[in-house]
Amino acid sequence: MNDLKNYQDILADKAGRVEKFFAKYPEDAAELAKTFADINAGKIRKVEPEIMVYGIYNAGKSSILNELIGEDRAKVEDVPTTDTVTYYDWQGYKIADTPGIGAPIKHEEVTQAHLKKADIVLFVMSTTGSNEKAENYKRMKEIADAGKKIIIILNDKGGDLGYNDDNIQAIKRKVAVNMKQTGIDNVDEKYCIVTVSAELARQGRLENEPLFIEQSGLAELKDVILSELKRTTSFDLLRGGIKQLENVLEDFIGKLSARENSELLQQANHILQTFNKQKISMRREINTYIDTQAENLGANLPQLIWSSRDRQDEINGIVAREIEQLNAKVQREIQQQLKDTATLLELELTSFAEIKLDGAGVDADGFKNILARLNEVNAQAVQVPVAVSEGGGKLDPSTMGIAAGLLTESATAIAAQLAKTEIGGAIAKTVLGRALGSVVPVIGPLITIVSVVGALGKFLGGNDDRRKLDAQLAAQNEAERRRVEAEMQARQELNQKCRYMADKLADELKAAADGGIAEALAKYEEPFKAEIESRQAQDEQVSADVVALRELCNEYDLIRVELGAR
C-alpha cells in the first residue's frame, strides 16, 4: 500500500539539482539563484502540513497513529501520562498526538492552541462505547466552529468490519444524530467517517500480510486524508511556491538560451521549448477537464446507485458504465488537444525546415542527423529517402532544397500522425479496474444496510386486537422514524464515498493522461534532444543543460498537478 508522498523530500531533491546548474553558470544565475533559494526557504521548506489526532484517550488514537506512520512509535496506553502534544514527523507531514478527551489531566488549552494550526483533524472513536460519550461531541463542535473538516475514524475494536457491517452502520448513524443534537450546523458537510481496524492493520504490518492491511480500511483513510489536504492552506502555499520556482527556472533557461551560437541549436532548442510549453498547456487543460468531469461523476453517481439499491446485481454495471463514459470523454478531449497541438508543431517544424543553411555557419551534419531521425520516426507517413552528400561536412548545395522540402513534408506528416495518436487504451487499463475495485466494495454495505433497515417495519405482523392498536401504531412510527434516519445517514455516506472515489479517479486519470501525452510527443522530441546532447563543446553543452532544465521545469509542474493545481 502506498503512503502519502513526501513532497518535502521530492522538492528538496529537485532544488539540489537546480542549484548545481546555478553553480555552473554563476554569471547568469547570481540574482536568480538567490531568488530561488529565498522561495525554497520561505514558501517550500517552511510548509509542513499538520495532521492532528484527537479524540477519546482510550479509543485507539495511538494505535491509529502508529499504523499511519507504519511503525510503533506512539505508546499505546489506556491512561494518558502527559498533557502535552507529541509531534511525529512522517513523510513531510507533522502528526500531532493530543492528550485524550476525558483524561484526568487538564489539557484543554493545549489542545485548542494546536487545533488552530492543524490542516486536518482526525477524531478517533471506537465501536465499543466511546462513540456515545457527550464530551466527544462537545469537542467536535469546537473543531467545527474553528472551521475544520472532521475526519472521524471509527476504530473497530469489536471485530465487526467485514463481518457485522450492520452494527457499524448503526454506530455511524448514531454519531450523525449526536452531532446534530450537539448543535453542529450543516453536519453532513463538516464530517466524514472512515472505519479502520488498527488491530488488523498492525497484524498485517507485522506479518507482512497485504490482505489484512487492505481489509483494515487504512488505505481508504489515507485516500481521504490526501483528498482533504488538497483543499487546505498548506497545499495552496506549496502550489504557489512551486509556480514561483517554475518562473525563476524559465528566466534562467532564457538567459542560457541566449548564449547559444549555433543557429541549428537555437532552433532545435526553440522547438523543444515549444514541445514543453505545449505539454504544460495541454496538462492544465486536460486536468481542468478531468476535475470537472470527475466532480460531476461524484455528484451524479450516488443517485444512480441509490435508484438501483433494490437491484444490487446491477450496481457494478452502473459504476463501470459511468467510469467508462468518463474515460471516453477524456480520450476525446485529449485527442482534440493533440490535434490542436499538431497544428502548432507543424508550423514550428516547417519553420525549422526553412532555416537558411548557406553562409550561416550551421552544422550540416547536425541538420542531417535531425532530418534523418525525424524521417525515421515518421517513416510510414513519409516514404521519400533523405538526400545527403557522400563526403560529409557540408550538404551539397544542389541537395539543399530537396532536404528542406523533405523536412517540410515531414512536418505535415508528423502533425497528421500526432493528431491520430491513440492513448485511450492505456488510460482505461490504468484506471478502470482499480476504480471499480475501490468503489464497489464500499458501496455494497451501504446498499445492504438500507435494505435491512427498510425491513424494520415488517417485524410487527398483523394483530386485530384493538387494545394493542396504540402500541402497534407507536411501534410502527418508531420503526418508520428509524428507517428514514437510516436512509438519510446511508445516503450521506454514499455521497461522501463517491466524492472521494471521484477525487482518486481524477488523480489516476490525470497521471495516465499525462503519461499518454508525454509518450505521444516524446518520439518527436527525441531527435532534437539526441542531437543537442551529442555535442561536447561548451556552447553546445549549454544547450544540453537547457534541455535538462526544461525537464526539471516540467517535473515541478507535475508536482503542482499532484498537489491539486489545475
Q: Please give the full DSSP string across 397-460, using - where no structure is assigned.
A: HHHHHHHHHHHHHHHHHHHHHHHT---HHHHHHHHHHHHHHHHHHHHHHHHHHHHHHHTGGGGG
Where in 102-175 does DSSP place strands (E)?
Answer: 120-126, 150-155
Residue 374 domain-assigned?
Answer: no
Inter-residue contact 97 to 111 (CB < 8 Å): no
pLDDT grade for 395, boundaries at 50, 70 and 90: very low
pLDDT in tens, 425-470: 545 555 544 544 555 444 444 444 444 444 433 333 444 555 566 6
- What mean pLDDT is predicted for residues 169-179? 80
Q: What is the mean pLDDT of residues 172-201?
A: 81
Would you say residue 311 lies in a domain?
Answer: no
Give this prediction's pTM: 0.72
- The three-class DSSP label of residue 358 is coil
For residues 318 and 308, the answer to whether their CB atoms sit within 8 Å is: yes
Residue 363 banded pLDDT, cuts 50, 70, 90: low
Could you report the per-residue pLDDT of 472-481, keeping only the tens digit for each?
A: 676 777 677 7
Distance in angstroms (rounded) separating the CA atoms of residues 547 and 255: 13
* Residue 214 binned pLDDT confidence (cut-offs 50, 70, 90): confident
Average pLDDT, the chain: 75
Half-sphere exposure of 254 toward its Cβ, with a 13 Å CA cutoff?
Answer: 7
* Tens digit of each residue's pLDDT (9 = 90 or more) over 262-318: 677 777 788 888 888 888 888 888 888 998 998 999 889 888 888 887 777 787 788
Instruction: Give percent of the chain above pLDDT 90.
Output: 9
Would residue 71 count as lying in a domain? yes
pLDDT tens column, 396-409? 333 333 344 444 55
Give the domain range for residue 91.
50-229
- Identify the sign of the CA torsion 229, 232, 233, 235: positive
pLDDT tier, 100 (very low <50, low <70, confident <90, very high otherwise): low
pLDDT for the residue 248: 94
Under 8 Å CB-to-CB from 86, ≥6 apart: which residues? 74, 96, 97
pLDDT, mean of residues 1-21? 86
What pLDDT is recorded for position 280? 86
137: left (phi over 0), alpha (psi -120 to 50) or beta: alpha
The Cβ of residue 79 has, within 10 Å, a number of other Cβ atoms equal to: 10
Cell of 155: 476504530
Which residues lie below 8 Å from residue 76, measured CB to CB, with a gap of 6+?
62, 63, 66
Comparing CA positions, the residue from 41, 431, 24, 28 lying closest to residue 252 is 28
Residue 242: which of 16, 507, 555, 19 has the closest Cα? 555
Q: How many domains does the chain have?
A: 1
Q: Is position 155 within any domain? A: yes
Can you say whether the dihedral through the CA atoms of 50, 51, 57, 60 is positive or negative?
A: negative
Handedness of CA 509, 511, 515, 517 (dihedral sign): positive
Which pLDDT band holds residue 367 (cuts at 50, 70, 90)? low
Q: Which range has the worst mean pLDDT, 167-176, 336-345, 375-384? A: 375-384
Largest interatomic CA distance in the chain: 114
**DSSP labels, 278-331:** HHHHHHHHHHHHHHHHHHHHHHHHHHHHHHTTT-GGGHHHHHHHHHHHHHHHHH
Task: Kindly give, in sequence order, each residue whose CB lies less than 8 Å from that of residue 197, ignoring residues fewer than 6 positions away.
Answer: 155, 156, 159, 161, 215, 216, 217
Burial class of residue 10, CB neighbours in 10 A (0-12, 13-18, 19+): middle
Of 14-23, 101-110, 540-549, where does mean pLDDT reach its minimum?
Answer: 101-110
Split at pLDDT 50, 70, 90, the class of 130 is low
Determine the angle formed by the axes of helices 364-377 and 263-307, rounding to 10 degrees: 30
pLDDT, average across residues 100-108: 60
Report the amino acid identity of residue 237. Answer: L
Grid cell locating 6: 513526501
What is the DSSP code string of 491-512?
A: HHHHHHHHHHHHHHHHHHHHHH
Residue 70 in contact with residue 159, Cβ under 8 Å?
no
Given the C-alpha cell 485507539, which residue does it identify? 60
User: What is the mean pLDDT of the segment spanning 479-486?
Assistant: 72
For position 246, what pLDDT does the model report? 93
| Run of H or E including 553 | helix 538-562
* Residue 166 within any structural domain of the chain: yes
411 band by pLDDT with thresholds 50, 70 and 90: low
**175 lies in a domain?**
yes
**Which grid cell is 152?**
472521524
Flag whether pLDDT at 38 surpasses 50: yes
Q: Tell me the pLDDT tens digit for each residue of 227-273.
A: 888 888 889 999 999 999 999 999 998 888 877 666 777 777 888 88
For residue 216, is pLDDT > 60? yes
Is 221 a member of any domain? yes
What is the rounded distance in angstroms from the CA atom of residue 438 to the CA atom of residue 441? 6
94 alpha carbon, distance to own chain's centre: 20
pLDDT above 70 covers a percentage of the chain that reads: 70
**CATH code where residue 133 lies:** 3.40.50.300
How many other CB atoms are found less than 10 A from the CB of residue 278? 20
